[in-house]
Structure 1
Amino acid sequence: MTEIFELDGSYLEGGGQILRIAITLSAVKKVPIRIKNIRGGRSKPGLMEQHLRGIELVRDMCTAEVKGAELGSTEVEFHPGEIKGGDFTAQVKTAGSISLLLQVALPCALFATAPCTLTLRGGTNAEMAPQVDYVTEVFRPILEKFGATFDFELLRRGYYPKGGGEVKVTINNIAKLNPVDITTQGDVTDVYGWSFVAGTLPISMNHRMANSAASILNKISKKVYIERYKEDRKIAPDNCAGIIVVAETDTHCILGASAIGNRDEFSEDTGKRAAEELLKVVESGACVDDHSQDQIIILMALAKGKSLVKVGDITMHTKTAIFVVEAMTEVKFEIIPSGSNNIIQCSGS
């Protein structure tokens, strides 16, 4: 019997990030784990709906024995078995992020014994998590640099507060992840994006978001194409407005940013938020943006060989991901200053 590994869930970021990385590594590395003080850094500690469904999803994928997996629980034990292929479903009853469900399950599916199909229900576009469009258009190309990918089918949009979104993700299992060297940003070749409204919101809102964003992004490219559209009511019956913007470079870096509209903000300011975020990362010279920065830590750790990635400031989510990986594996990361940026380096296992 492998000795159980204990982890304090209140450390550093003290939120769901520790839980997601720990459960994923437990499944992939077949390490039993006990996580205490779950989300101890939050005003309302313990498992929320979204975190619980993520644990249950990975539990089903690897036939794990789990103790303490219930709403509000601050301690969970997870004893994994072999990750098997097949069809799996997770449903967050709230607008909890589908993207975060995928974040905990994707590395597990890559190392399953056969392909996996995940049917995920919840929120597709939310302010406090990557929008699913960011996951497919920015994170997926980065994942492909590691030698893996996934197919994605959007069946229904789900917005705050109702949720109700649904996607189907098909992931082929792989023998290994490849190391990456992503340290030269290069010159921007394309800037594009999507500006959308849904429900009863007028299409004029997304024109204002897109025009505002384009006026800022013209600083890095004279050709900025932002598609403007209203979601089909059959796919997106509820109200929401948002924008996703992307920059690609001649060294195949892909950088993204996004924003969701809210009642206390002019549409022009929503577009401005997304554009200024993207402008900042492009002008910094970083090769991945902050939203992908923490997600690639587990990929680097599981890749076979030495990886280097140039980023901006090291985010708290990234520090948390590195802490969990180093605690649960023999992989060690090194942060190398590079001008105003940093290079994250590790030799994966």
Structure 2
Amino acid sequence: MACEVKEIDGSILEGGGQILRIALTLSVIRKIPVRIMKIRAGRSKPGLMEQHLKGIELLRDISNAKVKGASFGSTEVEFWPGNITGGSYEARVKTAGSISLLLQAALPCTLFANSNTTLRLHGGTNAEMAPQIDYTTEVFRPILEKFGATFDFDLIRRGYFPKGGGEVVINIEPIPKLDPIKIVDRGQITSVFGWSFVAGSLPIKLSHAMADSVGRELKRFCNNIKIERYKEDRNIAPDNCSGIIVVAETSTGCLLGGSALGKRGENSEETGRRAALDLAKSFEEGTCVDSHSQDQIIVFMALAQGPSSAKVGEITMHTKTAIFIAEKMTNAKFEIIPSGPSNIIQCSGSK
């Protein structure tokens, strides 16, 4: 293990939990001890919230790490990783804190474990300000598979804001290395599909309204649109929620996603329209990787054995942050090359 502690300012760029997640993920994989300071310093409630603590504890257990400062509200954490060990691990966020964000931190680490890993994660499956779990499995996972990795997924229970209570089980087999990717040819949009759902006591007509709205907005891009409309089983999703996930597939195998959750006081047509416009932005920019996966692939590009490139849209602040931390924690170098309304992210990869 390296003795020098890498110091990271948690208030830079995006300035939120993403810095913590990426820094700790790469700390575990690279076996570099880190000290993260000014954690979430610019937020209305600075420091570690429960969902951040559960993520730290999960990575601590996976990597047999020593941790200092991991307490509620803390703005500084030291993390000294050990060896990544496969097995069964659990993280339970009592609120609707995102399960997808827990997985973002833990998944790359488990790919380099010494044996298979099972993660039982509790919290929010469909939450604002984070990818819905359906997006993670249906859009992000196929992108991950281009790097030569994947995971199995079992949904036990849906968890919505504010109660949470969702539960998923993830199984991951370790891999010897990550392959570089080259995703720069978007091709033609061949189909749009998705899922429009309601849960709890909400009527199915809201599901139809969201799906119909998506169809109206996206028909100018594609005629082959099929949105499944349904009401969640009460045994799996007892609480109230509505939302939609839409996915576009292209002739070159790219998958692009858009999504929205229903809001209090918002009609369902507008919820569907928000999801459609989310996806339409990727169409108009000619991207191969949408804005929700754009920042998620940075860690994998940095760790891949060889140069990677991906065509994306406008570079998000989350992506800028991910690149900054990845370059600080690895020997990978990134370059952004403008390409019309889109950009190509190039990465030298691991050496």
The reply to whether TM is greater than 0.5 is: yes
* Structure 1 residue 132 corresponds to structure 2 residue 130: no
Kindly state the Cα deviation for residue 239 of structure 1 after the two structures are TM-superposed: 0.2
For normalisation by structure 1, the TM-score amounts to 0.99
Tell me the distance in 1 between the aligned counterparts of 2:261 and 2:240: 11
Report Cα offsets for 1:99-136 as digits up to 9, x if no partner: 00000000000011111000000000011100000000
Tell me the distance in 2 between the aligned counterparts of 1:41 and 1:210: 38
Tell me the distance in 2 between the aligned counterparts of 1:331 and 1:25: 12
Kindly tell me the number of residue pairs found equivalent between the two proteins: 349
Tell me the distance in 2 between the aligned counterparts of 1:42 and 1:15: 7
Q: Comparing 216-225 with 144-153, which one deviates more in the overlay?
A: 216-225
- 2:270 matched residue in structure 1: 269
Report Cα offsets for 1:299-318 as digits up to 9, x if no partner: 00000000000101100000
Kindly state the Cα deviation for residue 282 of structure 1 after the two structures are TM-superposed: 1.2
Report Cα offsets for 1:126-164 as digits up to 9, x if no partner: 111000000000000000000000000000000000000
For normalisation by structure 2, the TM-score amounts to 0.99
- 2:60 matched residue in structure 1: 59
Report Cα offsets for 1:43-93 as digits up to 9, x if no partner: 211001111100100000011000011110000000000001000000001
Report Cα offsets for 1:263-290 as digits up to 9, x if no partner: 1210000000000110111121011110
* Structure 1 residue 279 corresponds to structure 2 residue 280: yes
Tell me the distance in 2 between the aligned counterparts of 1:290 and 1:113: 32
* Structure 1 residue 192 corresponds to structure 2 residue 193: yes
Tell me the distance in 2 between the aligned counterparts of 1:91 and 1:37: 25
Q: Comparing 161-170 with 39-48, which one deviates more in the overlay?
A: 39-48
- 1:73 matched residue in structure 2: 74
Amino acid in structure 2 at the alignment position of 1:232: D
Kindly state the Cα deviation for residue 348 of structure 1 after the two structures are TM-superposed: 1.0
Report Cα offsets for 1:249-276 as digits up to 9, x if no partner: 0111100010000112100000000001
Give structure 1 stretches of 5+ with no counterpart: none
* Structure 1 residue 36 corresponds to structure 2 residue 47: no
Percent of residue pairs identical = 68
Within 5 Å, give how 1:9-48 maps onto structure 2: 9-48=10-49
Kindly state the Cα deviation for residue 41 of structure 1 after the two structures are TM-superposed: 2.5
Tell me the distance in 1 between the aligned counterparts of 2:55 and 2:74: 14
Kindly state the Cα deviation for residue 344 of structure 1 after the two structures are TM-superposed: 0.4
Give structure 2 stretches of 5+ with no counterpart: none
Within 5 Å, give how 1:196-215 maps onto structure 2: 196-215=197-216
Whether contact under 8 Å (2:10, 2:39) holds in the other structure is: yes
RMSD: 0.7
Amino acid in structure 2 at the alignment position of 1:188: I
SS of aligned partner of 2:324: helix
Within 5 Å, give how 1:81-230 maps onto structure 2: 81-230=82-231
Amino acid in structure 2 at the alignment position of 1:292: S
